[in-house]
Structure 1
């Protein structure tokens, strides 16, 4: 309680610091190598990062502040093309709101609707219970089952928090059925395993996490290319498969549970399945629509001309349609985190402003140029940038915000690397690293959801997070030296 109060008392201080950084960077003497608009976009980035890292205000409130500041600050800045003219607040406001017209935002919104459909019908819970009922009652089997549940749900539930929200209560129920408290070693083992698996498969599947859409929106705009669902899967799924195997062995060796078998586990799962009742017609319709959607995602650009966003929105329209759908608007509007959509759109807009005003290019040159990356082999460059990426993530509670801040800088970096390298692949690899939410509970929303149950301590989470981060980092380098080169990603 005291910690929460202390954090609340510090909020005005963080807001004051954010505005101080905004003003200092805006009026810092400019030597002329950075356009005024670029300098102001960096000031807005500094302001945004402080609010995002400290959570001094909620993410949707920070989005409103960023829109307002961008409209005024960039609006009064001289244009890059003709410094005698200003952008004007109307044009700058268009830039600040530009993210809302991005198809990636529509995909994230549609993904949230799909996750809401799973919640409304409880299909994700039924799937999790079905899988756990098949793996047996030995502790190792349940750990394996928790990983399998996270993998399967990643294909159908495009929200990391929703996936964790489906599995964590079931696992805690099994712990309770054995008569152990929720802060037992067994609870820590199962809950940490499930959320670490969620993070691993945020890398493996394009539609599994919102931050992937942020990266792709920038890639689409800057490189005029798209990465299909099947291409992403080909690049990243092998990494996630290996990391899932690593996760299994890390967890069973690091956290020793009080028991090797949950005697009442099977009965509990059966009773929970009984509570859900027989499979409803709405669930059957959702299963059919989800499988058809997965088919269209996987065959994008091969068997049909429809992009991921379009087919997802068509699926949502069907899910909302009377008679054939699974829910109505009244049910869905309370299940959708509307603030997430706003933050997502504003994050994309801020990244685009950074690139368009040359702020990202300047920052990339200053940060990475001082390291002499242009003279290093590509593997050394990936090693250094990935390490920087992992360290920066320690301060961010949202991978979506991290993508908004870093991907434009990584795109700008590709213009200074003089290698025969696939720029899209280089940026994509850094996006995979952005999904590394392994280290701390605050590293990802699904971690915080699990941490809120009281099943484990920060120390417990770090115990698994450190080896997973180190092995994940080394695997990124191994894949960069071998597999990703062989298949043309690098």
Structure 2
């Protein structure tokens, strides 16, 4: 009886909150639909704004899982637009068939295929344990000083970001290693050293989501929108040229900030290096699947980084080629049956629906209306480029506090930035730069554990508190923001991004 009562109490607390949040989402939808359509905004745009409000409430409150929210958004958009006036001829209904075609446009975007391919690569890394071997190899070289171990944890995040295109998977690879190290050192799981290493690993992952195009799914959201809006393709090498210097500087900042705000209780760990080397030895010799995956990954990195220089194969195609090789018997690393259980298919669905929603915001002029309504009053049109970036970045950081998914934030915010940059009358190159820089800021998940899945993964270990995370996150956010402005005024102008 006692077990039953213990199990039911949490449900009574959780279910009403989820139910209330879902009700609020529908009330937000109906509330906006009942308002008169603003002048200059098509009825389809008005209804799209209502759907966006519904989506944001779902995403912020997590009333339902992200894949379920994607299905609800798809159905509502199809019905509301399908039974509304056509964009081309307001005298006729759009029809659910045409509306559904519009709503599912995201599924045909090449960026979705790239994300799917990247998830296969991340699954292969986890399946073969190559990601763990890379992490242990780096940590085995840094020695037993706690400062060196911190540096090693950051370097693991940097190295894995090149080869593991999933932030959660990268942090997931190092979390058990850190917990094992802390336990072997005779420290508690909630010791300052554990907090130091765990927070640094999560923050390093966020920093390098910005530095590398293929490191995070949300980057593909922005690129998908930009390709449609501007007809531009940004290569892996171009992205790296734009963003990697920022991430390198922020990695150094991360090292010093972490030591300042969470100083470890000991300066050196006896036999620390020996313990890590033992874990590496326990993995055994390099297996054939690991060796093949290493060759595939290095080849893929070469293809990504030399796109437009050595060859003309785009990032998506080269990633699909790698997936095909990984799944091929004898020369691959795993079978489809082994792979499909490790792929988060819901993430792919959310990603495609997010791109679709952003595309609908642009096509129905809802993004244009929101951009003018939100930012015209503060006179963005009269500001310098750096001033515009400063205002947008502050807004971006603040609204991120409500989002647990950078992918959903990018889907909601980047179309508005595209419409704004086009409306400001800037040159196409400058408009592209403004949008791309805001996508960098979308990955600023530094403040709260709930701002990013990798933060929650680290937080779930119990190694640190929300207060600990904030102590590191506040200075990282401030310095990162100031560095965005500095780069906007100098480096990004020098290399032609702005």
**TM tier, shorter chain?**
over 0.9
Q: Pick from 442, 457, 460: which aligns with 2:465?
A: 457
* Contact 2:87/2:94 (<8 A) preserved: no
Asked whether 1:425 is paired with 2:433, we answer: yes
Please say which of residues 150-159 and 76-85 is displaced more in the overlay: 76-85
- Distance in 1 (CA, whole Å) between partners of 2:155 and 2:414 is 30
How far did residue 79 of structure 1 move? Answer: 1.7
* Contact 1:79/1:86 (<8 A) preserved: yes
Report the equivalent of 1:14.
Answer: 21
* Contact 1:173/1:268 (<8 A) preserved: no
The DSSP-based 3-state class of the residue aligned with 2:134 is helix
- Distance in 2 (CA, whole Å) between partners of 1:308 and 1:251 is 35
Q: Deviations over 1:129-148 (max 9, x none)?
A: 00000001100000000011
- Distance in 1 (CA, whole Å) between partners of 2:415 and 2:470 is 30
Please say which of residues 19-28 and 470-479 is displaced more in the overlay: 19-28
Q: Pick from 165, 170, 192: which aligns with 2:199?
A: 192
Asked whether 1:398 is paired with 2:405, we answer: yes
Asked whether 1:67 is paired with 2:61, we answer: no
- Distance in 2 (CA, whole Å) between partners of 1:134 and 1:441 is 30
Q: Deviations over 1:313-362 (max 9, x none)?
A: 01000000000000011111111011000000000000000100000100
- Distance in 2 (CA, whole Å) between partners of 1:4 and 1:130 is 44
Asked whether 1:257 is paired with 2:264, we answer: yes
Large movers: runs of 4+ above 4 Å? 1-5
- Distance in 2 (CA, whole Å) between partners of 1:396 and 1:177 is 36
How far did residue 81 of structure 1 move? Answer: 2.1
Report the equivalent of 1:311.
Answer: 318
Q: Pick from 329, 339, 362: which aligns with 2:336?
A: 329
Please say which of residues 268-277 and 114-123 is displaced more in the overlay: 268-277
Report the equivalent of 2:387.
Answer: 380
Report the equivalent of 1:443.
Answer: 451
How far did residue 97 of structure 1 move? Answer: 1.2
When normalised by structure 1's length, the TM-score is 0.98
Q: Pick from 145, 155, 168: which aligns with 2:152?
A: 145
Asked whether 1:202 is paired with 2:199, we answer: no
Q: In structure 2, do the counterparts of structure 1 residues 248 and 3 end up closer, same or farther at CA, with 3 Å as the change threshold?
A: farther
- Distance in 1 (CA, whole Å) between partners of 2:348 and 2:274 is 40
Equivalences for residues 15-34 of structure 1 within 5 A: 15-34=22-41
- Give the number of aligned pairs: 490
Equivalences for residues 46-125 of structure 1 within 5 A: 46-125=53-132
- Distance in 2 (CA, whole Å) between partners of 1:350 and 1:7 is 29
* Contact 1:53/1:396 (<8 A) preserved: yes
When normalised by structure 2's length, the TM-score is 0.97
Asked whether 1:36 is paired with 2:38, we answer: no
Please say which of residues 5-14 and 55-64 is displaced more in the overlay: 5-14
Q: In structure 2, do the counterparts of structure 1 residues 467 and 3 end up closer, same or farther at CA, with 3 Å as the change threshold?
A: farther
- Distance in 2 (CA, whole Å) between partners of 1:469 and 1:378 is 21
- Distance in 2 (CA, whole Å) between partners of 1:470 and 1:193 is 16
Asked whether 1:414 is paired with 2:418, we answer: no
Q: Deviations over 1:137-186 (max 9, x none)?
A: 10000000001110010000000000000011111111111111111111
* Contact 1:378/1:419 (<8 A) preserved: no
Please say which of residues 140-149 and 6-15 is displaced more in the overlay: 6-15
- Distance in 2 (CA, whole Å) between partners of 1:294 and 1:152 is 12
Report the equivalent of 1:482.
Answer: 490
The DSSP-based 3-state class of the residue aligned with 2:378 is coil
Q: Pick from 27, 45, 65: which aligns with 2:52?
A: 45
* Contact 2:38/2:46 (<8 A) preserved: no
* Contact 2:82/2:95 (<8 A) preserved: yes
How far did residue 268 of structure 1 move? Answer: 2.0
Q: Pick from 236, 242, 266: which aligns with 1:229?
A: 236
Report the equivalent of 2:301.
Answer: 294
Asked whether 1:469 is paired with 2:477, we answer: yes
* Contact 1:99/1:349 (<8 A) preserved: yes
Equivalences for residues 351-362 of structure 1 within 5 A: 351-362=358-369
* Contact 1:254/1:464 (<8 A) preserved: yes
- Distance in 1 (CA, whole Å) between partners of 2:92 and 2:144 is 71
- Distance in 1 (CA, whole Å) between partners of 2:265 and 2:217 is 37
The DSSP-based 3-state class of the residue aligned with 1:135 is coil
* Contact 1:154/1:202 (<8 A) preserved: yes
* Contact 1:174/1:262 (<8 A) preserved: no
- Distance in 2 (CA, whole Å) between partners of 1:445 and 1:187 is 19
Q: Deviations over 1:427-457 (max 9, x none)?
A: 0000000000100000100000000000000
* Contact 1:110/1:313 (<8 A) preserved: yes
The runs of 5 or more residues in structure 1 that have no matched partner are none
The DSSP-based 3-state class of the residue aligned with 2:397 is helix
* Contact 2:122/2:165 (<8 A) preserved: yes
Please say which of residues 339-348 and 412-421 is displaced more in the overlay: 412-421
